[in-house]
Structure 1
Amino acid sequence: MMPGVVSAIGDVREHRGRQELYKSLQPAVLDRLCEVAKIQGTGASNRIENISTSEVRLRELMERKVKPANRDEREIAGYRYVLDTIHESHDSIPITPGVILQLHRDLYRFQDVSFAGRWKDSDNTIAERTEDGSMVARFVPTSAAATPSAVERICDEYARWSKGATYDPLLVSLIFVFDFVSIHPFADGNGRMSRLLMLLLSYRSGYDVGKYVSIEAEIERTKTTYYEALAASSPRWAQGESDYAPFVTYLLGVMTACYRDLDERVSLLSSSAKGEDVLRAYFAGLTGTVTKRQIMDDNPTLSRRTVERVLQRLQAEGAVKKVGAARATAYQRIDQGEVS
């Protein structure tokens, strides 16, 4: 392994060693963290593919309070369905071509599309948009004709290498994700499937941070770096000479960032800190705006009454300001020296 990969996987292992800390939290708190991660992850993974709905509708779809009203919401509902399957049954889901096809079929279970659960039947190209708005080919994936055998090959390799003692199963998992993206086996849904498979494989490898902090949201936040890492690892992949290090190192960095986020949340939730102290620390690390609902999601041990009381106090002190009105109301930290 390259030195960068060795260092990155060491960081993730170190954080995994502290997993028992957050498992000692009250089950209700863990359940809340899990539900928030699902909502944030579903929204982020779909937004990366330009699939979106309002924050309110997203939450209602995730809680099954409403039915999908349009194509984007049907795509979101499908992602939710597969994500639930992975959370509930990851240890019993084998990594085989048939299972991957089934997960893809479930991704489109709320839509009537002919390509659901089928390998692509025509060649595709991974393109990117340049600054002048034109599209240029970045990578040519596996041909449609060769796709079934290519997926079977990477599944066989995953099974073989993940059972051995030579490589960390997580490393084998991330290489599988890169190979999957490079094959691009479906007519549509490859990006979302790759992120779902990453969650599935990381859980099976014993790294379950994605249950409590959204890995998809961190990928969305660092999307530019994601595409740069993908491009750096892509040359000569078809010839079996790909440099996996850039892509694998990037994903390990994503997981480390999520573990650090979780460590901070666990530290606050496990302490006897008052609600005011918790929210002061929360806003100290905040960039941009945040709604009251998001504040409560990120701080599941605090009641609505506590959040509202502390927000009023922070506003009175000039530490936080309110932006927007009615349902669009959000809150933003006021940096020292800023004139409100």
Structure 2
Amino acid sequence: MYKPDFRITPGIGKALMAIEAARQAVMALPIDVEMLASLRETARLVATHYSTQIEGNRLTQAEVLEVIAGACFPGRERDETEVRNYYRAIEEVERLARQSASVTQDDIRRIHGLVMEGRASPTPYRDGQNVIRDGASRGIVYMPPEAADVPGLMAELVAWVADAMTRAELPAPIIAAIAHYQFATIHPYYDGNGRTARLLATLLLHKAGYGLKGIYSLEEYYARNLGAYYQALTVGPSHNYYMGRAEADITGFVAYFCAGMADAFMAVQAQANRAAARGATDQTPSLRRLDPRQRRVWEYLRHLGTATSADIAAHLGLSPRTLVGLCRLWVASGFLTLHDASRKNRSYRLGDAFDTDAG
């Protein structure tokens, strides 16, 4: 039976405490049904955007929103399909999370079927060898187990997860982290392994009571630093599954996963605090002072939560340079607040005075 090699370090312990504190705080917040539905939809869209972006999808967050709403972008048909499929897979994960039964191989295969084909039909595991290559050098980064061994390895993984969830001796975030790592390590498909691994982890967290009302996404944390994500997945003395990778110490990935989960949970706690306060103060006069562009941005961020400057510029049909100048003014006036100040991923959210009005 599968037996992961890891240890709970002080850093992992600290992350687990942060996760639990944020979880308890969010679950206790009085968020009305309408607002909860809006936050859940935002989380689905964010997860869809970032998880497909990790795999090379070129659609912006704004375009993902439009695609889910039915829009088409000529020349981006493959990207559109990936986005729609992933969104459907998230809905399937939410459905499976409501069931009391343990996660099965068929559940995972149906999730993969939705990711790749848009249909909830179990997909067969790969029937041949595949390798993961470096995008630049084309050198082999990882050689997964042989196809003949995949069914047995998947059976062991699913059995371990069911046993770990039943015993509840390990914290749920650690179980989800290990399942994510081992699925990616087995690499049971030619394509779609990363997306399915991330969805599997989300499913296990939801089933274990860490769904956080469905209003969080771990994918943004991975996408914002892909190098760290891939480095955390790369462990062991060799790129070959049979030469040390199978028995490797995966403490590093567990630590990375838990740190990312703590980051996401604390961000949601702040967002949920703002959502819970909405409606407490009548901000109608403030909204009346917004010009037409600000109103469009207000509606846009009200739905998405956060967006990059490039996404906002595209939404308004403005040049990036023009948008930068507007954002400086809007931040100074309190209409917007910097969410991520880094040059590469600079993003904004509504200022508190306007965010509390989005109900």
Does 2:13 align with 1:12? no
- The Cα of 1:56 is off from its aligned counterpart by 4.8
Once the two structures are superposed, residues 30-57 of structure 1 have per-residue CA deviations (whole angstroms, 9 ceiling, x without a partner) of 1101111111111111111012335454
| TM norm structure 1 | 0.76
Change (3 A) 1:97 1:37: same
Aligned length: 297
Q: 1:274 to 1:223 in 2, by over 3 A?
A: farther
Matches within 5 A, 1:138-157: 138-157=141-160
Equivalent of 1:230, from 229, 233, 237? 233
2:265 corresponds, among 255, 259, 270, to: 259
**Which whole-Å CA distance do the structure 1 matches of 2:235 and 2:282 have between them?**
47
Q: Which amino acid aligns with 2:116?
A: Y
Note the 1:88-107 alignment, pairs <5 A: 88-92=95-99, 94-107=102-115
Specify the alignment match of 1:220 in structure 2: 223
Contact kept? 2:179, 2:200, Cα under 8 Å = no
Structure 2 match to 1:166: 169
Q: Which has the higher contact order (CA 8 A, sep 6+)?
A: 2
Give the letter aligned to residue 31 of structure 1. A
Within 5 Å, give how 1:48-87 maps onto structure 2. Answer: 48-64=54-70, 70-87=77-94
Q: 1:60 to 1:183 in 2, by over 3 A?
A: same
Give the Cα separation in 2 of the matches to 1:54 and 1:293. Answer: 17
In the TM superposition, residue 175 of structure 1 has moved relative to its aligned partner by 0.6
Residue in 2 aligned with 1:332?
327
TM-score, normalised to structure 2, is 0.73
Q: How well do the aligned residues superpose, as a CA RMSD in angstroms?
A: 3.3
After superposition, the Cα gap between the structure-2 partners of 1:164 and 1:178, relative to the gap in structure 1 and judged at 3 Å, is same
Give CA-to-partner distance per residue, 1:297-332, whole Å, 9 cap, x none: 2559xxxxxxxxxxxxxxxxxxxxx96894247453
Gaps of 5+ in 2: 1-6, 288-295, 307-311, 333-359
- SS of the aligned residue for 1:108 comes to helix
Aligned counterparts of 2:20 and 2:167: Cα–Cα separation in 1? 18
Residue by residue, what CA displacement relative to the aligned partner does 1:236-269 show, whole Å, maximum 9, x if unpaired? Answer: 8654432121111111111111111112112222
Query: CA separation in 2, counterparts of 1:90 and 1:233?
Result: 33
Structure 1: how far apart are the matches of 2:259 and 2:273?
A: 21
Q: How far did 1:135 drift?
A: 2.1
CA distance in structure 1 between the partners assigned to 2:83 and 2:313 by the alignment: 29
Counterpart of 1:200 (choices 203, 216, 233) is 203
CA 1:274–1:258 in 2, change beyond 3 Å: closer, same or farther? farther
The answer on whether the counterparts of 2:27 and 2:213 sit within 8 Å (CA) in structure 1 is: no
Percent identical residues: 21
Question: C-alpha separation between the residues in 2 aligned to 1:108 and 1:325?
Answer: 29
User: How far off its partner does 1:116 sit?
Assistant: 7.7
The 1-side partners of 2:48 and 2:237 are apart by 27
Q: Secondary structure at the match of 1:170?
A: helix
